[in-house]
Amino acid sequence: MRDALLTVRDLKIYYRTLYGYVKAVDGVAFELRDGEVLGIAGESGCGKSTLGNGLVLLKPPMKYVGGEAILDGKNIMALSQKEIKRIRYEKISIIPQYAMDALNPTKKIRQIVDDLLREHNSSFEEKRELIEERLAIVNLSKKVLNMYPIELSGGMKQRLVMVISTLMNPDVLVADEITSALDVSTQRSVVQMLYEMKEKKAMKSIIFITHDLAVLYQIADRIMVMYAGKVAEIGPTEEMVRNPLHPYTKMLLASLPKIGVRFVNERLKGIPGYPPNLLNIGPGCRFRERCPKAFAKCEQDPPIFDLNGRKVSCWLFERGDER
Ligand SMILES: Nc1ncnc2c1ncn2[C@@H]1O[C@H](COP(=O)(O)OP(=O)(O)O)[C@@H](O)[C@H]1O
Ligand SMILES: [Mg+2]
């Protein structure tokens, strides 16, 4: 088994609001191995972006409440401001959800890149060769460097942010919903470009966040399914898709549209109900209200059961195999 690059244990990140805490990431644990693409899936609102953003750019109203995330022997959730500045971007970087809207509209791309690199003791000139090489991977002409963000299409900005966020060759790249605004064929090419960047060592490992399991199937080595701020299940992609264990993973997979099935003949199986409100949420399995298999024990919080490398947080697996 490959070594862990990032080890997350019992991580809690809440939002402080007028009405109490929104427990958006509530006791999450996983390992990101050296060289792997770890996919994070789950319905909208289950805490994926909070986890990704919290690891890289924790800022109010997010509040780090407990647990740890160890990168290079250090808990990156509890660093001095000076250390945080160095580690973010250089060691762990993010392509945030809606990244394309984040580029400063008043500056040319070259200037945006230079400003960012100067904060990390480098410069545009120093990285010129690398920048041009990476632009070529994502199929952008170096002419974009002399353009303003408004002159680029959404897809071009998306690919540009892929390049900018990885110029320091971080160990870990968090990619948050980078394919969600794209049509299916563009999704494919963005996934391929990201993969090529990884082959060329632009980053060691990727945390690839998406609500779209079909995209994860193309790129992820392992998949972690989140539900309502917690980990439901983690396992190798192929096994997760062929043999999902957690009732939520099963329903998530069953809700994917299939080729050859017509809606009029067989209704798509959506998951009935909604995820719970994460504000002041109490104990017990958070999926129990929507779960067809819920039983008395589910009133208690399920721990994560380890079944030969497959991890599942569901009382059905307390004795190893399904009850
Ligand atoms: N700024 C915020 N203040 C309060 N609650 C928030 C804030 N941002 C997100 N949340 C809540 O945190 C939960 C997780 O959201 P998010 O991490 O964006 O989920 P996902 O990325 O899986 O769609 C949701 O219940 C959402 O309403
Ligand atoms: Mg999100």
Looking at residue 102, its pLDDT comes to 82
SS3 1: coil
As to burial, measured by CB atoms within 10 angstroms (0-12 exposed, 13-18 middle, 19+ buried), residue 19 is exposed
pLDDT digits (tens, 9 = 90+) for 117-135: 999 999 999 999 999 999 9
Ligand nearest to C-alpha 177: 2
pLDDT over 60 at 170, yes or no: yes
312 lines ligand 1 (CB under 6 A): no
Distance (Å) from CA 25 to ligand 2 centroid: 12
Distance (Å) from CA 94 to ligand 1 centroid: 17
Ligand nearest to C-alpha 54: 1
15 lines ligand 1 (CB under 6 A): yes
Distance (Å) from CA 112 to ligand 1 centroid: 29
Tokens representing 177? 């919903």
When comparing pLDDT for 302 and 272, which is higher? Answer: 302
Distance (Å) from CA 271 to ligand 2 centroid: 19
Q: What distance in Å separates the CA atoms of residue 267 and residue 84, rounded to the nearest whole number? A: 49
Closest protein CA for atom 7 of ligand 1: 15
Distance (Å) from CA 5 to ligand 2 centroid: 23
pLDDT over 80 at 100, yes or no: no
- CA of 22, closest atom in ligand 1: 5
The ranges assigned to domains in the chain are 4-91+171-177+206-317
The highest-level CATH class for domain 4-91+171-177+206-317 is alpha beta
Distance (Å) from CA 214 to ligand 1 centroid: 23
pLDDT over 80 at 257, yes or no: no
Distance (Å) from CA 24 to ligand 2 centroid: 11
pLDDT over 70 at 263, yes or no: no
Looking at residue 159, its pLDDT comes to 93
Closest protein CA for atom 3 of ligand 1: 15
Distance (Å) from CA 50 to ligand 1 centroid: 6
Q: Which of 176-185, 244-253, 306-315 has the lowest mean pLDDT?
A: 176-185
Distance (Å) from CA 259 to ligand 1 centroid: 32
- CA of 51, closest atom in ligand 1: 17
Closest protein CA for atom 11 of ligand 1: 24
Closest protein CA for atom 18 of ligand 1: 49
Q: What long-range pairs does 252-256 form, CB within 8 A, spacing at least 24?
A: 252/41, 252/42, 252/43, 252/213, 252/225, 253/213, 256/213, 256/214
Looking at residue 34, its pLDDT comes to 97
pLDDT over 90 at 274, yes or no: no
46 lines ligand 1 (CB under 6 A): yes
Please check whether residue 219 is in contact with residue 175, taking contact to mean a CB–CB distance below 8 angstroms: no
Q: How confident is the model at residue 297 (pLDDT cuts 50, 70, 90)?
A: very high
63 lines ligand 1 (CB under 6 A): no
SS3 192: helix
Looking at residue 271, its pLDDT comes to 78
Give me the mean pLDDT over the 62-81 stretch: 95
45 lines ligand 1 (CB under 6 A): yes
Looking at residue 249, its pLDDT comes to 96
Please check whether residue 69 is in contact with residue 53, taking contact to mean a CB–CB distance below 8 angstroms: no
Looking at residue 264, its pLDDT comes to 58
Give me the mean pLDDT over the 280-301 stretch: 94
Closest protein CA for atom 4 of ligand 1: 15
Name the percent of the chain lying above pLDDT 70.
95
169-203 core/surface letters (b: 16 or more CB in 10 A; e: else): bbbbbbbbbbbeebeeeebeebbebbeebbeeebb
Q: How confident is the model at residue 269 (pLDDT cuts 50, 70, 90)?
A: low
Closest protein CA for atom 24 of ligand 1: 45
Ligand nearest to C-alpha 275: 1
Looking at residue 254, its pLDDT comes to 87
pLDDT digits (tens, 9 = 90+) for 5-55: 999 999 999 999 999 999 999 999 999 999 999 999 999 999 999 999 999
